[in-house]
A and B are shown apart, each in its own frame.
Chain A
Amino acid sequence: MIRCTGVTVRLGDKVVLDDVSLHVPRGSWVSIVGPNGAGKSTLLRYLTGAVAGVGDVHLAGQPFGALTRRQRAQLVAMVPQAPVIPDGMTVVDYVLLGRTPHIRALAVEGPTDLFAVHDALGHLSLLTLADRQVATLSGGERQRVLIARALAQGSPLVLLDEPTTALDVGHQQQVLELIDELRGLHDLTVVTTMHDLTLAGQYADRLVLIDHGRVVVEGPAAEVLTEDNLASYYGAKVRIIHDGDRPVVLPVRRERMPRIVP
Chain B
Amino acid sequence: MTVAPAATAPALRGARLRPAWVAAGLVAVAAAALAGLVMGPVSLSPLEVVRELLGMSTDLDARQIAIVEQIRLPRVVLGLLVGATLSLCGASYQGAFRNPLADPYLLGAAAGAGLGVTVVIVRVADGAATPGYVPVAAFVGAIAAVALAYALGAAGGGRASTASLILAGVAVASFLTAVQTYVQQRNQDTIRDVYVWILGRLSTSGWSDVWMLLPYALVCWVVLLAHRRILDVLAVGDDEAATLGLHPHRSRLMIVGAATLGTAAAVSVSGLIGFVGIIVPHTVRLLAGRSHRVVLPLSMLFGGAFLCIADLLARTLSSPAEIPIGVVTAFFGAPFFVLVLRSSRRTGVTA
Our verdict on whether A and B bind, yes or no, reads yes
B9 lies within 8 A of chain A by Cβ: yes
Does A118 lie within 8 Å of B351, measured CB to CB?
Answer: no
- Contacting pair A101 B14 (CB below 8 A): no
With most chain A CB atoms within 10 A of its CB, the pick from B227, B228, B244, B247 is B244
User: Contacts A88-B351, A119-B5; is A83 near B236 (CB within 8 Å)?
Assistant: yes
Q: Mark A58-82, 1 if CB is under 8 A from B, else 0.
A: 0000000000011111101110100
Q: Is B340 interfacial (CB 8 A cutoff)?
A: no
A117 CB contacts on chain B under 8 angstroms: 12
The stretch from B105-113, B288-296, B321-329 touching chain A is: B288-296
A122–B3 CB distance below 8 A = yes
A73-B243, A136-B351 given. 14 additional CB < 8 A pairs? A49-B243, A72-B245, A84-B240, A88-B350, A89-B232, A92-B12, A97-B236, A98-B244, A108-B14, A108-B229, A114-B12, A114-B13, A118-B5, A185-B1
Neighbour of B242 across the interface among A50, A88, A121, A185, CB < 8 A: A50
- A101 near B242 with CB under 8 A, answer no
Residue of B nearest to A76 (CB): B243
A96 contacts chain B at the CB level, 8 A cutoff = yes
Chain B residues whose C-beta falls within 8 Å of the C-beta of A90 in the assembled complex? 15
18 contacts between A and B (CB under 8 A): A48-B242, A69-B242, A69-B245, A86-B236, A87-B350, A88-B290, A89-B290, A97-B232, A103-B229, A106-B227, A109-B229, A114-B10, A118-B8, A118-B12, A121-B12, A123-B1, A127-B8, A130-B12
Per-residue A-contact encoding for B268-294, CB less than 8 Å = 1, 0 else: 000000000000000001000111010
In the A-B complex, list the 3 residue pairs whose CB atoms are closest, starting with the nearest: A73-B245, A101-B245, A122-B3
Secondary structure call for the A interface: helix
Q: Does B237 contact A (CB under 8 A)?
A: yes
Contacts of A84 in B (CB 8 A): 235-237, 240
- Any chain B CB within 8 A of the CB of A189? no
A-contact 0/1 string along B1-39, CB 8 Å cutoff: 111010011101111000000000000000000000000
Q: Does A135 contact B (CB under 8 A)?
A: yes
Query: CA–CA, A76 to B221, complex, Å?
Result: 34
**B191 interfacial contact with A, CB 8 Å:** no
Chain B residue nearest to A73 (CB atoms) is: B245
B222 to A, closest residue via Cβ: A106
Question: Which of B226, B240, B291, B293 has the most CB atoms of chain A within a 10 A radius of its CB?
Answer: B240
- Measured CB to CB, the residues of B under 8 A from A are 1-3, 5, 8-10, 12-15, 226-230, 232-233, 235-237, 239-247, 285, 289-291, 293, 350-351
A133 at interface, CB cutoff 8 A: yes
Q: Which residues of B contact A118 (CB under 8 A)?
A: 3, 5, 8-9, 12
A88 touches B289 (CB 8 A): yes
Q: B246: which A residues are within 8 A, CB to CB? A: 69, 100
The answer to whether A69 touches B247 (Cβ under 8 A) is yes
Inter-chain contacts of B351 with A (CB < 8 A): 87-88, 133, 135-136
Interface positions, chain A 226-248, Cβ under 8 Å from B, are none
Which A residues lie within 8 Å of B291 (CB)?
89, 93
The residues of A that contact B13 with a CB separation of less than 8 Å are 92, 114
